[in-house]
Amino acid sequence: MHTSLCSFGLVILSLLFLFTTTQAQSGRIPTPAQHGMVTSSQYHGSEVGQAILKSGGNAIDAAVATAFALAVTYPSAGNIGGGGFLVYHGADGEVTTFNFREKAPLASTADMYLGSNGKIKNNSNHDGPLSVGVPGTVAGLWAAHQKLGSKPWSELLQPAIDLAEKGIPSSWNMQRIMKYFQGREEAVYDASKEAFLKKGKDLYEPGETWKQPDLAKTLKRIQKDGKDGFYKGKTAKLFAKFMKKHGGIITEEDLAKYEAVEQAAVHGTYRGHDIYAMAPPSSGGVAVVEMLNILEGFDLKEMGHNSAMYLHVLTEAMRRAYADRAEFIGDPAFNPDMPLERLLSKAHAKELRQTIGLFKASPSDSSRFNKALAYESEETTHFSVVDAAGSAVSLTYTLEYGYGSRIVMAGGGFLLNNEMGDFNPIPGLTNSRGLIGTKPNLVAPEKRMLSSMSPTIVAKDGKPLLVIGSPGGRTIINTVLQVILNVIDHDMNVAQAIEAGRIHHQWLPNITSFETHSISPDTRRLYEMMGHKIRFRGAQGQAMGIYIDPVTGIRYGAADSRSFDGKAVGY
């Protein structure tokens, strides 16, 4: 009898292990898998990526399939009408990145959003067709697949096409955007209503099947013709025609000229680990490495996680890195003299560290430039992938605002970004409220706007260890930083590291945001006694991470519980 019970217990444990490898993790418990893992903000996307891995695809294949699936199932941020960044670390040690950030159209000018009074006209850098940058997502996924993919391109598009044609359950999350479209009368939103409302006017009830036939047709053109299926031919003609009709400036020439760029990763080290992240126009990699370099000189473990002293030194590191970000970082094609080597150096970090008082907050003085960051929406999405061989992808992409410009191109079925709002809108104006007008990120034709997206891979002994990233606008950089510190300095598993309370300071405005209930009253008092000002906010970011145990090789995935539909799926 005893032997039978033991056998029964082993069967139950085996079933539980199998179950956990195909379901989302719960809270601070990561999802284990022996072979491959995908962690994203929407479970359909994770499941599509996992299926590609299970069928023999590599990390790039799974990333491409996941990204296209999220364009169907997670329209608030998943996209083919936006752009982003991909960091790759192969099991063989190869490291590279792909920059598919959107570009300003050829007809752009530095003052294109300003009225005669020198102020922004009708929020035009965020609302309407002028806010749309030339999309980069399709070109970026195509470039990564051409270089590193293994499965046929057409196979990776099919799951997204099936989801668009057969439909997915409408979610509670979509109720707000559907009601928004119901209230819009402008002709520019007609195609948005057709795409998101039943018969162009009625709400889909939660759980009711929502189909996207125009998006499926666009995806089929991309499936058949690759990058050219988006940037040339019918889709490009529909795009340019729609822009011309509604006052936009993107043309067929803009689309045909767009290219994603493969570029070297930003590289840093932290306590014996290698840090690989995006180079400009993403500011994330530079800022994360700079802050880690500053913090390497403090015994963070001894200070204790989220103690007042720990939060103080984190804040001071954030303050200095964000000030450097504002002064120096932009599109390298337009800013060839960015001092990246100095910003990433241990020597620069030492100089900055020596200016930090251990018991007193520093000032954040906008007169450092007498110039002035554009607002960055927190509606982005990130996913992480590790394949059976141990190769890893960290990918963050966005439409800027939730649902981007909220404009669906007639006949295309996909949402357009409003990324032009990420340029500094008013040349020369920097102020204490956080508006930045420094030269590196002013609008110019074919320029890529500055971004805080920070897809990052931490490696040890030449192998990927932690794959991490998050949405969250300017908070992304600090979210990624804190997850890395939680794993390396505070010995947390990846789920604990992601679930822990987070803070954010960005130099200007001079205030630290704390997630509600993330610190005790005593810690708050001690932190404020040092001269820091604080405010409380809701959730910061939705980090999606994978940790590869260097001893067992088991992949541990964690989807941030701050994400409504996030899921870690492995096999």
Per-residue pLDDT, 173: 87
Per-residue pLDDT, 331: 94
Q: Does this model's pTM top 0.85?
A: yes
3-state secondary structure of 387: coil
Give, in order, the Cα–Cα distances in Å from 278 to each of 93, 165, 261, 543: 17, 35, 12, 17
CA distance 228 to 407: 22
Query: Could you tell me if 109 and 165 are in contact, meaning their C-beta atoms sit under 8 angstroms apart?
Result: no
Give per-10-residue mean pLDDT for the chain (571 aa). 38 36 61 98 97 98 98 97 98 98 97 92 96 98 98 98 97 93 97 97 96 98 98 98 98 98 98 98 97 98 98 98 92 94 98 96 69 62 98 97 96 97 78 57 94 97 98 96 98 98 95 96 98 97 98 98 95 97
CA distance 298 to 52: 43
CA distance 459 to 338: 26
Per-residue pLDDT, 1: 39
CA distance 72 to 87: 23
Q: Which long-range contacts link 110-118 to residues 24+ away (Cβ below 8 Å)?
A: 110/427, 110/442, 110/443, 110/444, 111/427, 111/443, 112/443, 113/420, 113/425, 113/443, 114/425, 114/426, 118/426
Residue that is written with structure tokens 């590191």 in the block: 317
Per-residue pLDDT, 441: 86
User: Would you state the structure tokens that stand for residue 234, as one six-digit string?
Assistant: 């019918």
Per-residue pLDDT, 366: 59
In DSSP terms, 202 is beta-bridged to 198
Per-residue pLDDT, 26: 53
Catalytic residues: 380
All domains of the chain in start order, with CATH: 25-99+259-416+451-571 (3.60.20.40)
SS3 annotation, 182-198: HCCCCHHHHHHHHHHCE
